[in-house]
Structure 1
């Protein structure tokens, strides 16, 4: 459809008329909003942020899902493209249900297998078992890896199926970063990484604490895994204008440009061998992406091979909070 500066329909093709119920334009132009009264769409138009497409039900049949793109052009005019994604959504739901069900079914037998392996490893004084200890150690390592994959798959499944973010509260990001930094130092162990926290005081985040901590942790732990011994990792939280930002910057191996667009795909790895060796599941950045989407945020990735990488989470104004005096007092009292 082609719309004028007043959102009046100047032209529409047959498919637009079929899915949106818009009559063929004649002598008198009609407003688009006479035919599409979906509240989500109206809010989308009001905000004027058209960088991402919008999914809405078709006005003529709510069982049909449409992906709508608005492209501004000319002097105040707009081009609207709508495509039927019903089948794609159905296939996505089938995939999502399959992954969730398989993950649930795998969790119990994996726990049993891991328990038996652990028991055999801990058994002392059994010469027959002692000769199998190296193999049992490898089995334990792989069973733990499978458990981590299943746990991450279940986390992804929950993030995808529960559209509404629950348990929202003002998060003291400084406290979260202190905990993550301590865990990162433990993970770093003998690698002697220089892990620093730079946190702007008084800036909080409106969100789900466990989801935010999970996303931030994945970014930081990835930096630990891919930064050589003695390298530097900086966790930074700050506010610029109305928006707030969290960045993890490292002096690691870096990532070539062609890999960056695919980093948040499930199981995508730049270096498969190294990722497995370091204990990664290939799902961490996918979890980060979905958490940020649920919090209306976005992920920006900058990297240079041999120099390092910077992963930045950008949160909009409606997620940024100024911490109260009481909240700041609690943080000081805790010794942060």
Structure 2
């Protein structure tokens, strides 16, 4: 053994030992002797000092320059010993590091993570239960009020129909509010999983328009939809995400439009289909408009929840847009109204048949050539 090694590690603040191929301690520094409470460690077998793994052969560790770790409690201190073979000098070097505090913090961290997971599961269960317990009776109220509206005698229609519409629309708004909270939670916790499929955007817009039509009638706001298209707009996306985006934008338009009109414009921009949600409401003040534009462009990373005019809904819209790779822009004139534009890519017409390769997610074009023509 080289004396240079001894002099280099004799006064190290960590325990250091040199072992020969049989596991005999040939050198131990001062710190090692203090920790093991022995002045005569040399010539003892390391397996008699610590619980050295039986599967580890010290001669192999030395000849192959192997390295491994073993954590051992000595008294009240937990040591992480690093054993490294040195074939050149035919010995194994062994250094110990106090990891007591590190392991304590690790246990505390694991406990905190476990508790956080439990809280997250409790939140998930609570939201699911509340959503079910609230949605179920609201859906019953909605269904029966629609039935009653259809059965009202013509002589009583003018007197009672507005009341039934008010009940029906209030129930729908509560359902949308619970859906918004639930989807926001799912997106934030990344447990929402989109299902990408072929979607007819015309049908999605018409369904959303129909859901809000009675609400527009109650508020006496003109609510229209216009399709400036030569054919049905087919897109490949998550239909629920699209419908939630439209519902939130339309709901916001009604929230800030006391009178006037709200309209949906659907048109082709070339490679994308755009939907404008236009209202003649209060518009957005200049200071908030700047933040909102930066938020949708990704420049502003803060939260919108503190701004009353945007609230939770637009944060959810942004997350849905990011999820399906859609684009969102906004134009506004304070006191005159706003236009929120939602754009999503069209489905490629050239793909007339698509087969998904489950192993590699490769999409094949129909072809008479040999397999291998891929996009």
Q: Give the alignment's TM-score, normalised by structure 1.
A: 0.48
Q: Considering Cα pairs closer than 8 Å and 6+ residues apart, tell me whether 1 or 2 has the greater RCO.
A: 1
Q: Give the alignment's TM-score, normalised by structure 2.
A: 0.44
Larger CA Rg, structure 1 vs 2 = 2
